[in-house]
Amino acid sequence: MIMIAPGLPALPRRAHIREVGPRDGLQNEATILSTAQKLQLIDALGAAGLDQIEAGSFVRPQNVPQMADAAALFAQISRRPGVIYSAIAPNEVGARRAVAAGADMVQVFLSASESHNRSNVNMSVERSLAHVANMAAIMRGAGRPFDAVLSVAFGCPFEGDVPIPHVLDLCARLLDLGAEQLTLGDTTGMAHPVLVQRVVLAFQERFPRQPLRLHLHSARGAGLANILAAMQVGVSAFDSSVGGIGGCPFAPGAPGNLCTEDLVHMLHEMGVETGLDLPGLMATARILEGMLGHEVPSQTIKAGICKHLTDSQGSR
């Protein structure tokens, strides 16, 4: 643990980041990258040290055309030892396709609110849970782990506040179905530091031995503040997207994925280890800008690494 000052919560010594840009990032882009471009992006992310990369999703191509080549993509990934290449799937058909394509892990997802679940996957939460049960059986049969992602856990753009006990009840049902890890999503950036800590502390009280990952957004600028708040109560696993691209195409106000290089820069400045090559991540974000044909939201590739700036001044 990293002590900040007497009386302040200690921070975890190391944080683990799952890169979601190749899926959650690209699905919200108007430009559809070729399979070759996606492979280049995924390889560069692996070279920067990321050991868990969300590479694609097995959804209906007509709904998310950016992910239409998921099977071909997984077949061609140059796999690095120790790297988990995961996929998301909304139902049994998607889970079978993901397993057949060689996804190392399948992330199932549903929403903490009825309205968002119907907007996102066109079904009720109860029906999604029934699909999750069937998907869990498919993945157990294939010897693949699955991570359950609960969207809009910190607020729904259609319904507003989502009661914390309701979020925890859904977590309990997902764990009963065999989820090895839970991820709570701030899908539209409605969270703030106090709410993040309330949700995390309630989760830890109910599930004291269960690891937790957070998928936070910066749609309203609170993303990095929410990361710090979560770390102060013991969370050390997070999702982020290279360049800060992406969001949910099925909910209003959802852009603003947490930017990987901005997150890594902050963590490194605080003395928190990530095992990631920050200059390599920044170079990857610049490659991505060329592929997409527009600037990405990343602040670090614009402002530079603090240590590099001070080193430059000191050498004059």
> Which amino acids are annotated catalytic?
248
Task: Please answer whether residues 264 and 281 qualify as being in contact, where contact means their C-beta atoms are separated by less than 8 angstroms.
Answer: yes
- Alpha helix (H) ranges present in the chain? 35-47, 70-76, 92-101, 114-121, 125-142, 164-176, 193-206, 223-232, 260-269, 278-292, 300-303, 306-314
Contacts of 68 (CB under 8 A, 6+ apart): 61
> Could you give phi then psi for residue 261, rounded to 5 degrees?
-70, -30
Contacts of 310 (CB under 8 A, 6+ apart): none
Q: How many CB atoms within 10 Å of residue 218? A: 26
- CA–CA distance from 201 to each of 215, 230, 241, 301 (Å)? 16, 9, 25, 34
Q: Which of 150, 235, 226, 146 is nearest to 184 (CA)?
A: 150
Instruction: Give the DSSP H/E element, type plus range, for residue 110.
Output: strand 105-111
Exposure string of 46-56, with b = 16+ CB inside 10 Å and e = fewer, is bebbbbbbbbb
What is the dihedral sign for C-alpha 19, 24, 27, 30? negative
